[in-house]
Structure 1
Amino acid sequence: MSEYIITKAKIDRRKSHSHRRQSIPDESRETSPSRSSHRSRTPIGRNRESDTPKTWKASSERLIVLDKNDWDVPEKLHTVFSDRKSINSSSTSTTENERRLYSKTKSKSSTRQSNSRSSSKCSANGRDNDKSDCILRDHRTLPGPKKVYADEEEERIDREFYLQDEQGGYHEAEESRVFMGSHEKFRAMEEKIAKTRARGETKLKGMSARASALNADQEAWETNRLLTSGVVATKKVDTEFDDEVDARVQVMVHNTKPPFLDGRVVFTTQVEMVSTVKDPTSDMAVCARKGSELVRDVREKRDQAKMRKRFWEIGGSRMGDVIGVKQASDGQDTSNESSAGNADAENDNPVDEKDHVSYKAESQFSTHLKKQKAVSEFAKSRTLKEQRQYLPIYQCREELMQVVRENQIVVIVGETGSGKTTQLTQYLYEEGYAKYGMIGCTQPRRVAAMSVAQRVSEEMDVKLGEEVGYAIRFEDLTSDKTIIKYMTEGVLLRESLREADLDTYAAVIMDEAHERALNTDVLFGILRKVVQRRTDFRLIVTSATLDADKFASFFGSVPMYTIPGRTFHVDTFYAKSPCEDYVDSTVKQVIQIHLSHPPGDILVFMTGQEDIEAVCYILAERMAKVDGAPSLMVLPMYSQLPADLQAKIFDALDVRKCIVSTNIAETSLTVDGIRYVIDSGYCKVKVYNPRIGMDALQISPISQQNANQRAGRAGRTGPGVCYRLYTERQFCNEMLEAQIPEIQRTNLGYVVLLLKSLGVRDLLEFDFMDPPPQDNITNSMYQLWVLGALDNTGELTDIGKKMVVFPLDPPLAKMLLFSEKLGCSAEVLIVVSMLSVPNVFFRPKDRESESDACREKFFVPESDHLTLLNVYHQWKANSYSNQWCTDHFIHAKGLRRAREVREQLQDIMKQQRVELISSDGRWDVVRKAICSAYFYNSAQMKGIGEYVNMLTGMPCNLHPSAALFGLGYTPDFVVYHELIYTSKEYMQCTTAVEGEWLAELGPMFFSVKESYKSRLLKRMKELETSQQMETEMNMKVIESEIENEQIEKDHEADNTKQKAAAKKNSCSDIFKKANKRRRFGF
């Protein structure tokens, strides 16, 4: 069966050519009105002057499928759709048959003249020689298969009629249809549109993929609906609507591991993973996994209130403005709260347009660390000097300094409030150690480093940032005058890369070592070697627990000094029975203290931001129902809180304060006036999850040492009380004595990278106090190998040496370096800077829907990373305005901090000779750079908004705040920054990527299905790669053996020389003694 798929334009062209070549009388060549009328209605995109038909758009692009065997008309009639030569050869017979056929149907066609102008003209001129313009329409006179031809021709006439109606009216003149029949005008219009899009005035280039996908889906749906409804008839319908040009890429997943990770090499003595829970079946462990029921209720209430406000309230909306409805009055407080995050909005002074700042001069937190006012009676009645003399450490100052002078390493044990954090640095300064270098003090948290530095500067009566300063990541408030420097442990760790012996420091105090942070254990091994190389260096390790024997034995049985006594007495009360909901019990305890206990501020320890906000919300709700209750100021405290709101906990108020905090307030943070402490018994710890291949925060019971630390917060400035929301039996039986060190439960990617850069080739040779598990080190090294930081033998590559210089996670450092190759390092620098600061979007209470609407304005539909880039660009375009940030619910201080981070990273890029290149709006290139860092966190679409991790098979979901969520375009492949756990596994910060990018950037995991001609070739390629890596590994083993043999030979040679020198010295001594005896006559 032969089929013809032709367009109306092609039919007209063939008819016109056939009649030009026919030899007919002159009267037959006269132009009929029907013909001229028909040719004047050329569709858009069809050039009458050229023979090439254009592609028709939307409804004008229709296909007519004709089957030659279905027509029951004379054979010569089919030559209309045949080759031009056959038409010329049979024109005479075709004309006679058409005349006979049209004469039968003329009477029938005259009844349809009112429906179509074209059909009436065709009937009136049915006897004309130009038979190509005449149409068979009366299907009742054509029996059998002839009806198909008539129906299709009738449908063609109807389509033509409606098409003319869409193009400006059936009776309008030719000049009203601007582009009809004019190829030059149509091409000029297309060029104009292309130039407009190139300038970015119509849409962003990064949205082209989404737009093309939406257009393809809409066209397929429109064709399907037209075919289903019968408006368009076709002989052959493709119901699957697969586009061969835009076929989906099939990505194959495979797993390749380098030979140094196949198990033959042992990196640690700790083989098994370490559990962070003492008994997984205990009541506290079960309660931690189950979570708080009250928090879930609060979450549901907020969601319901959000939906009710969205659908029923019109205050503050456009419709409300039209009819005069004002916004609810309760929004006044929330608006003040939103402006609290941008306190400088009223001083809206635009800065210089040049994107250059000094990240030292523009430190964020220092502007909020005001001089603390005395709150307690103890602080009000004594001067700072008298307060220093009252501390327990002052009573043993001389004895302690004598121990420090006699020993290079000293371990000091002092309970919370003994004064070791603020006084030891000043004692060393007063003893003269600052003559040989700075006195450094490390803190596990940045808030502690800043607050302690502020306190010491007040006691020394100097300006913060001069003689006393602090340094945290991306913020350095020190100067050439600085002699006492407080810093986080990561800052000192990075300084060890530049100075292996830390020559700028005369003494280092490692404070709060009992917390055993990740950087703490690494610093232990580094400082231990520094002490061996520098005899003038002093190392002091402080701990608030009495099990400091482990620290003393690690450094070689060094002396341990204990500071006696606690400052004030603290009473501890346990719960009578295990509580089912720790959030509800916390709220009840706060209300009881506030209504029935003497004055004094309250400090509450919770797990995280969601629990803290729930406690604050419920407290405000229940206190509002109590008649005549005294005022209570509830202040949250967590790491993601803006700096100015964090600093509010130090302000002196006339009302009772209730500080609801994470364990950030557990150590080295003294808030004057705290008298009551409520301990929930839980905290969030970072634990490596091998199922997802990354760290995750999970709620778990605290340790006994943490519980004692929390209780000590109540006795810093006066007698206090600690309420523990767990029983004494649970304290003894269900809590670990000490928290599991972070090095044994988290990802060690950056630590391995740092140790490799320090020259530690074998991790077994490094001095770990507690060795990390084998699986943690293996997974971390595997991630570094995937990113290209390690080669096939486990050695550091050139890109790995550059990655370690940046104070970033390895994936972000890889993204920044790879962006130079793609020509988009300027944009990626901004993306990395925005990811290195807390979330810049602010969601005030009771205004979530309004803030979400403002956030959606910045969405780039293909990427959350590009959304952050868009926010920064818009902020820059508005002259870095604080008021603009307030209007759009954005933290101005977060953006300014991102700007400072960008400046610091740009300085490091200049040092590493990484060129800063702009992509000029090619955001697809930026997405590819993001894919180069996170292709191992790739997910494939499973359903609408549902994905599955391509490597682990773990289900993932788009977060409701993602730019890809609910926009109608669901990409096949995405990469994400991290996973968060709430009710589901949500992908945080997602970007759509192409399947070809995954195969190009992650060949050890992915390959395109069409990239191999057969499975045999694929297996051969995998075998070749495996053999190549095995050869490199064997060469490394041989080189290491040769190197070890050379080291042994050198060692033997040194021993031989030493023995020869000793023998020579012995002979010389014997000779000298003999000469002496002869001289004296012996």
Structure 2
Amino acid sequence: MSNRSDAAATRAAALRSSREKLPVWGFLGEIGALLQQQQLILLIGETGSGKTTQVPSFLLDALPRADGQLIACTQPRRVAAMSVAKRVAEEVGCDLGREVGYSIRFEDVTSDATLIKYMTDGVLLRESLTEPDLDRYSAIIMDEAHERSLNTDVLFGILKKVVSRRRDLKLIVTSATMDADKFSEFFGNVPTFKIPGRTFPVDVMFAKSPCEDYVEAAVKQAIQIHLSYPAGDILIFMTGQEDILATCAAITERLDEIGDKVPLITVLPVYSLLPSELQAKIFDKAEGGARKVIVATNIAETSLTVDGIKYVIDAGYCKLKVYNSRMGMDSLSVFPVSQAGANQRSGRAGRTGPGKCFRLYTEFAYNHELLVMTVPEIQRTNLGNVVLLLKSLGIDNLLTFDFMDPPPQDNLLNSMYQLWFLGALDNTGSLTPLGRKMVEFPLDPTLAKMLIFSEALGCVDDVATVVSALSMPTIFYRPKEREEESDAAREKFFAPESDHLTLLYVYLQWKKNNYRADWCTKHFIHVKAMRKVKEVRTQILDICKTLKMRIETCGTNWDQVRKAICSAYFQNAGKMKTVGEYVNMRNGMPCHLHPSSALFGMGVQPEYIVYHELVMTSKEYMQCVTAVDPEWLAELGPMFFSIKQQGETRAEKRAKERRDKQAMEAEMQAYLESQQAKARADVLERLSAGASAGGSAARQRIVTPGTAGAHRRGSGGSNGSGGSGGSGSSCGSVTGGGGAAAAAAGTGERSPVVFRGSTGRVGSGGGIGGSSARSQGGLTPKRTPRRFGM
């Protein structure tokens, strides 16, 4: 017992000593004094300065707070939120989850005693839905703001308003870059406090010529450093899990081939899906004085700080989420790193002493081909979740929301269009009852739609399992040199008509075997992934109970589950072209069954399918595929598909579509008139207020949506009905304007399911609808709005 207490005291003393050596330690008093005078400050400090770990614990004693109030610290990444919380809990001397805890999606490690709460920015964003003024927090620290994640950018606009309403709330925005002016100006020229760094010189070396294979080049460079350079750990930046594991395996294999005379080395991977106990190994000292080689994603640029790094190998690439207009969804793609990111990477080598950075690209590429800063996520990704959340907060006109860098209008409109065909928005761009329910789930809109629709089919319990399994990258594992054995084990669970049902069947069998870990190991199933599926499923069903949804199972009537899946993914429908190959019914893009799919290699393949997502490798492969009936597509996606009516003439079909169009335009006209009246009243009120304040407001030019002063784009058309090359009247509001979905004249002789000829796009004014287009056959590609390209 005495030895244990002595070890704890030694550990506490070591932690205290390391904290006092951090650059921020000597400036905590000045930061506290500045916060006594200011409500909002900008804190600039290089990664490793200690601002993430030391500032929250300092604020506990430095700032007044009411009983029950916490200090929040947001992180853009799950890994950072968990690892930092664990470190601060050690420094404070408490168990994780007591005074210091963390909260990420589907995992909350906090208690009633928690005073410091680390969380992902998405968690705080969702909390603002139920608590608009965030009264439970006395101070909020927005850490790593320079990363400009999608949720962080939305939080900027929301917290800017919260601070103006709550004078007792302190907001600290931290950044590791020197681009402070932009942040300061956005928040009203707030004061900036710079923490002097303690970085040492870093010798940056460039490649003489571009490398063809950055994995191979990184492996060779790491081995050369290990065999030729003095002691010091190595940090290698790679793009993602696949490249990281390949790099780790290659380094280990090559050094084994050299022989026993090679100095000791420990190779450690770091990526977001790695279990937390394995991630923590990068902070531990290697046994026997071995050199550590850490292979990481760009999470190690700023979010994690590892002592002892002396050498950095920069492959020059990173993965970014970008909206792919061809696929119709976000995809993780590899892009060159920005100059700012490259500088952050090289800085990792100079934290504890002079270091070296080996860039696997040329100096010319750095100076002339790399972007200065990474494009903010809000300007390159689908904004469906953001639109849904802002609409639920009562922000009807999204163009007026205070974004630091406004997203392209086409991105907003396209996201609204996707929410419209899912049923979350009505023809005027307002939230529907279904949309309000979808906001309650911390899920992608398509998954939330699937879950809610399943209630009418009596299979909420089953679909909750499918949705939970889809939140995991995979529940199967395929170890090296045992691929055939693992594939055979996986095939035992295949549901021949659906990969989604395969996931459900695996869970049901695991449940039948009392959730045993050895059962998972025997069948090559990730036991930790399955436990996570179980946790997520419990949380989803708790939300369903809160919404008073009937939680039922359909038993073995799995057609109900397939129909629920179709209700969410009808926009990702495919029709069979040849064996193993399908054609997307909306854009004509060929897509293939993945060899791991339950449908791959079937004797008789289904004619119609829907898929969860596309993965671009050598081909466009569909991930998680389910066979569907064509009648479901026409029933659940009537804006895209219809069943050809026997005996119906083309003239009768056009007349019916004209009537539908006129009815929708009449509805939009009434909505526009009400909006115009409201806007005019607002103008009069502002003018009146401006006159009383000295007339300054009266001098501003205010354009009323829908009036003659509003900007028009394209060849025009009344009230957004669209012209022959334009997008109708711009109403100055994402929620107003836009015409009805246009008429179609598709013949559709080749298939009982006909793709509608209407573009069904969003007008530039933001209403749902768009310009007229005529079908030239059974399959007509939908016009895709211009989007941000990199």
Task: Pick the aligned partner of 1:649 from 282, 289, 306.
Answer: 282
Matches within 5 A, 1:399-548: 399-435=30-66, 437-548=69-180
Partner of 1:689: 324
Partner of 2:202: 570
The alignment-based identity, stated in percent, is: 62
Q: Kindly indicate whether the alpha-carbon contact (under 8 Å) linking 1:640 and 1:839 is maintained by their aligned counterparts in 2.
A: no
Partner of 2:233: 601
Deviations 1:141-191 (A, max 9, x none): xxxxxxxxxxxxxxxxxxxxxxxxxxxxxxxxxxxxxxxxxxxxxxxxxxx
Partner of 2:216: 584
Q: Kindly indicate whether the alpha-carbon contact (under 8 Å) linking 2:28 and 2:55 is maintained by their aligned counterparts in 1.
A: no
Partner of 2:612: 977
Task: Pick the aligned partner of 1:550 from 164, 182, 196.
Answer: 182
Deviations 1:392-450 (A, max 9, x none): 11222222222222111111111121111111112211203444621111101000011
Deviations 1:658-682 (A, max 9, x none): 2212112222212343332211110
Partner of 1:630: 263
Q: Kindly indicate whether the alpha-carbon contact (under 8 Å) linking 2:12 and 2:91 is maintained by their aligned counterparts in 1.
A: no
Partner of 1:639: 272
Q: 1:402 to 1:1011 in 2, by over 3 A?
A: farther
Partner of 1:1010: 645
SS in 2 for 1:1010: coil
Partner of 1:208: none
Moved more, 380-389 or 850-859: 380-389
Deviations 1:91-138 (A, max 9, x none): xxxxxxxxxxxxxxxxxxxxxxxxxxxxxxxxxxxxxxxxxxxxxxxx
Q: Which amino acid aligns with 2:50?
A: G
C-alpha distance in 2 between matches for 1:786 and 1:997: 15
SS in 2 for 1:820: helix
Deviations 1:16-41 (A, max 9, x none): xxxxxxxxxxxxxxxxxxxxxxxxxx
Q: Kindly indicate whether the alpha-carbon contact (under 8 Å) linking 1:937 and 1:976 is maintained by their aligned counterparts in 2.
A: yes
Q: Kindly indicate whether the alpha-carbon contact (under 8 Å) linking 1:448 and 1:667 is maintained by their aligned counterparts in 2.
A: no
C-alpha distance in 1 between matches for 2:655 and 2:536: 47
Q: Which amino acid aligns with 2:292?
A: K
Task: Pick the aligned partner of 1:761 from 396, 407, 418.
Answer: 396
SS in 2 for 1:635: strand
Q: Kindly indicate whether the alpha-carbon contact (under 8 Å) linking 2:47 and 2:305 is maintained by their aligned counterparts in 1.
A: no
Q: Which amino acid aligns with 2:274?
A: L
SS in 1 for 2:374: coil
C-alpha distance in 2 between matches for 1:651 and 1:565: 24
SS in 1 for 2:592: strand
C-alpha distance in 1 between matches for 2:647 and 2:412: 34
Shift of 1:640: 3.1
Count of residue pairs the alignment pairs up = 683
C-alpha distance in 2 between matches for 1:520 and 1:609: 24
Q: Which amino acid aligns with 1:636?
A: P
Partner of 1:872: 507
C-alpha distance in 1 between matches for 2:195 and 2:461: 53
C-alpha distance in 2 between matches for 1:1055 and 1:603: 59
Q: 1:589 to 1:1056 in 2, by over 3 A?
A: closer
Q: Which amino acid aligns with 2:268?
A: L
Shift of 1:687: 1.0
Shift of 1:645: 3.4
Q: Which runs of 5+ in 1 are unaligned?
A: 1-372, 1060-1082
Matches within 5 A, 1:1061-1076: none
Shift of 1:1024: 2.0
Moved more, 613-622 or 703-712: 613-622
Name the TM-score, length of structure 1 as normaliser. 0.61
Q: Which has the larger radius of gyration?
A: 1
Partner of 2:14: 383
Q: Which amino acid aligns with 1:403?
A: L
Matches within 5 A, 1:188-227: none
Q: 1:549 to 1:1050 in 2, by over 3 A?
A: closer
Q: Kindly indicate whether the alpha-carbon contact (under 8 Å) linking 2:199 and 2:347 is maintained by their aligned counterparts in 1.
A: no
Q: Kindly indicate whether the alpha-carbon contact (under 8 Å) linking 1:637 and 1:660 is maintained by their aligned counterparts in 2.
A: yes
Partner of 1:778: 413
Shift of 1:729: 2.5
Shift of 1:710: 1.4
Partner of 1:846: 481
Q: Does 1:1032 align with 2:667?
A: yes
C-alpha distance in 2 between matches for 1:703 and 1:663: 11
Q: Which amino acid aligns with 1:576?
A: K
C-alpha distance in 1 between matches for 2:647 and 2:77: 52
C-alpha distance in 2 between matches for 1:987 and 1:449: 32
Deviations 1:871-915 (A, max 9, x none): 100100000000001111111111111111111111111111111
Q: Does 1:826 align with 2:461?
A: yes
Q: Kindly indicate whether the alpha-carbon contact (under 8 Å) linking 1:865 and 1:990 is maintained by their aligned counterparts in 2.
A: yes
Q: Which amino acid aligns with 1:1032?
A: E
SS in 2 for 1:383: helix
Shift of 1:780: 0.7
Q: 1:424 to 1:744 in 2, by over 3 A?
A: same
Q: Which amino acid aligns with 1:390?
A: K
C-alpha distance in 2 between matches for 1:647 and 1:960: 35
Partner of 1:902: 537
Matches within 5 A, 1:785-804: 785-804=420-439
The structure where helix makes up a greater share of residues is 1
Deviations 1:510-564 (A, max 9, x none): 1111111100110000001001111111111111111111011111111111111
Q: Does 1:669 align with 2:304?
A: yes
Task: Pick the aligned partner of 1:745 from 358, 365, 380.
Answer: 380
Shift of 1:967: 1.9
C-alpha distance in 2 between matches for 1:872 and 1:660: 33
C-alpha distance in 1 between matches for 2:660 and 2:296: 52
Shift of 1:753: 0.5
SS in 2 for 1:396: helix
Deviations 1:229-279 (A, max 9, x none): xxxxxxxxxxxxxxxxxxxxxxxxxxxxxxxxxxxxxxxxxxxxxxxxxxx
Q: Kindly indicate whether the alpha-carbon contact (under 8 Å) linking 1:417 and 1:715 is maintained by their aligned counterparts in 2.
A: no
Matches within 5 A, 1:903-982: 903-982=538-617
Q: Which amino acid aligns with 1:946?
A: E
Q: Kindly indicate whether the alpha-carbon contact (under 8 Å) linking 1:417 and 1:566 is maintained by their aligned counterparts in 2.
A: no
C-alpha distance in 2 between matches for 1:755 and 1:483: 29
Q: Which amino acid aligns with 1:470?
A: Y
Partner of 2:781: none
Shift of 1:1029: 1.7
SS in 2 for 1:625: helix
Shift of 1:584: 1.5
Q: 1:1011 to 1:416 in 2, by over 3 A?
A: farther
Higher RCO, 1 or 2 (CA under 8 Å, sep at least 6)? 1
Matches within 5 A, 1:62-101: none
Shift of 1:848: 1.4
Shift of 1:810: 0.1
Matches within 5 A, 1:173-252: none
Q: Which amino acid aligns with 2:14?
A: T
Shift of 1:1012: 6.8
C-alpha distance in 1 between matches for 2:646 and 2:142: 55
SS in 1 for 2:257: coil
Task: Pick the aligned partner of 1:815 from 450, 456, 469.
Answer: 450
Q: 1:600 to 1:382 in 2, by over 3 A?
A: farther
C-alpha distance in 2 between matches for 1:625 and 1:742: 43
Q: 1:382 to 1:738 in 2, by over 3 A?
A: farther
C-alpha distance in 2 between matches for 1:618 and 1:907: 45
Q: Kindly indicate whether the alpha-carbon contact (under 8 Å) linking 1:513 and 1:520 is maintained by their aligned counterparts in 2.
A: yes
